Amino acid sequence: MEKRVQLYEGKAKKVYATDDKNIYIVSYKDDATAFNGLKKGTIVGKGAINNKVSNHLMGLLEKEGIPTHVVQELNDRETAVKAVTIVPLEVIIRNIAAGSLAKRLGLEEGLKLPSTVLEFCYKRDDLGDPLVNESHIKALNLASESELLQIKAYSLKINTILGAYLLPLGIELVDFKLEFGKTADGTIILADEISPDTCRFWDTSTHEKLDKDRFRRDLGKVEDAYNEILSRLMGGA
Ligand code: UDP
């Protein structure tokens, strides 16, 4: 497959068309941003790590019956994916209170939530990705009722699969963000990435943060944390 024009450049990835209209190539960057682009930096090696971590986790999900966009890892930072139209929603799943939830609801970070919390944000950088509920999604026609049902079911199943996979590796899945896409025939599949950029991962015993919060909050050892996640997933912990 041949790489063609760049279709899009986001904060952490570029997307290219290919000679096959059903296939795109994503290229993961080392650039990091936080607080809706206000904080910018570089995490050396992040692109290659997130490419591997995301493909590894999506491979696991595929085996468990979740359709994903991954077609084939091409090299260190590039992967061929199914071409989709992204549903303009960020699905956030939370097991432990942290980040914006802790702040919004006055909860102590680290509080284990008695039941899973599922939130939607409208993907609109110019508005700062506002929190929306299902009636907003319906009124703004961001997804159909059946698409939303599918997205919620997949998201909760993904939480169960990933949580159970990560726990024996000493990683607590605190919260994470998912994005879904629609293929040309209207099928909903998991798209975007699952990586330390989009998940909160805490060490189970020390509660050390092994994710992008190290960058957001200037905690240091950012690269070490990304490498630690990769090595635990690949069995080298
Ligand atoms: N998240 C993300 N992209 C976003 C917003 C959030 O990947 O644009 C992830 C984030 O890494 C965390 C989860 O979603 O794992 C919940 O994030 P939160 O709402 O707490 O926002 P934050 O504190 O990151 O601003």
Q: For the chain, what is the HEC assignment?
A: CCEEEEEEECCCEEEEEECCCCEEEEEECCEEEECCCCEEEECCCHHHHHHHHHHHHHHHHHHCCCCECEEEECCCCEEEEECCEECCEEEEEEEECCHHHHHHHCCCCCCEEEEEEEEEEECCHHHCCCEECHHHHHHCCCCCHHHHHHHHHHHHHHHHHHHHHHHHHCEEEEEEEEEEEECCCCCEEEECCCCCCCEEEEECCCCCECCCHHHHCCCCCHHHHHHHHHHHHCCCC
On whether both 105 and 166 belong to a single domain, the answer is yes
Q: Is residue 196 part of a domain?
A: yes
Indicate the top mutation candidate among 175, 178, 197, 226 to test ligand 1's pocket, ranked by most ligand atoms within 8 A of CB: 175
Q: How far is the CA of 175 from the centre of ligand 1 (A)?
A: 8
The total of structural domains in the chain comes to 2
146 is a domain residue: yes
Same domain, 78 and 89: no
Same domain membership, residue 156 and residue 63? no
pLDDT tens column, 13-29: 999 999 999 999 999 99
- The stretch 38-43 carries a mean pLDDT of 97
pTM of the shown model: 0.97
Residue 112 confidence (pLDDT) above 60 = yes
Same domain, 32 and 55: yes
pLDDT classification of 137: cutoffs 50, 70, 90: very high
Task: Give 156-165 pLDDT, tens digit per residue.
Answer: 999 999 999 9
Residues 41 and 150 both lie in one domain: no
Whether 9 maps to a domain, the answer reads: yes
Range of the domain at 201: 85-222
